[in-house]
Amino acid sequence: MTRLAEASPGSLFATWHSRHAPTVAPARKWLASRQISKVHIEWKEDVRVWHPGQRWIWEPGGMGVFDPAINALSIVTAILPRSFFLREGTLKVPENCQAPIAAKLRFSDSEETPITADLDFLQTGPQTWDIHIETDAGNLTLRKGGARCSLMTGWSTRRLNRNILAFMRASPSLLPVVRVRST
């Protein structure tokens, strides 16, 4: 990549692709003025679908379940207003592997906001790439790796409309991917 970049008149742009999912930037803007009370990452996919027969994923340095989890972490670090730190983790490592196939992680930020992650590389059927965020203004969920989102609130329709309008102002092109529910 270095040689290609040096030989090209353009520039090399390298980043985690999930950070550029359609709901990430609007979620970051919406969350910036909210009090976040809880975050839960649910990132589960089938290694047999995404890495069929690839032994490197289980070897030292292969990352195991953290190969897909880096996508979740790249989104969460982009949308949360404060840095957060790992406090505790449980890894499931099969005897014949050097990298974890599943993990349960507990983080917190400078305000002790609980942030948890449930990672699994053995999900069958539909894959789960969701981030659930509870705030003082309702619950925001990014689904399908940030391709979709939903905002749930127990407020009146008027207040709900103000919240969704604030979210939509951040990115009006999201109308087709945002679902709003009032409880």
Residues in the chain: 183
Measure the CA–CA gap between 158 and 119, rounded to whole angstroms: 37
Provide the pLDDT for residue 19.
85
Are residues 148 and 135 in contact, defined by beta-carbon separation less than 8 angstroms?
no
Residue 13 parent element (H or E): none
Provide the pLDDT for residue 133.
96
Provide the pLDDT for residue 44.
97
> Is the sign of the CA dihedral 151, 110, 29, 44 positive or negative?
negative
Tokens matching residue 133: 């965020």
Nearest to residue 18, comparing CAs of 143, 117, 122, 140? 143
Measure the CA–CA gap between 48 and 149, rounded to whole angstroms: 27
Distance spanning both ends of the chain, measured CA to CA? 50
Provide the pLDDT for residue 7.
84
Backbone angles phi, psi at 129, to 5 degrees: -130, 75
Going by C-beta distance under 8 Å and a sequence separation of 6 or more, which residues neighbour residue 176?
A: none
Provide the pLDDT for residue 162.
53
Provide the pLDDT for residue 10.
73
- Whole-prediction pTM: 0.79
pLDDT tens per residue across all 183 residues of the chain: 778 778 888 765 565 678 888 889 889 988 999 999 999 999 999 999 999 999 999 999 889 999 999 999 999 999 999 999 999 999 999 999 999 999 999 999 999 999 999 999 999 999 999 999 999 988 999 999 998 888 877 654 344 445 555 656 655 555 444 555 544
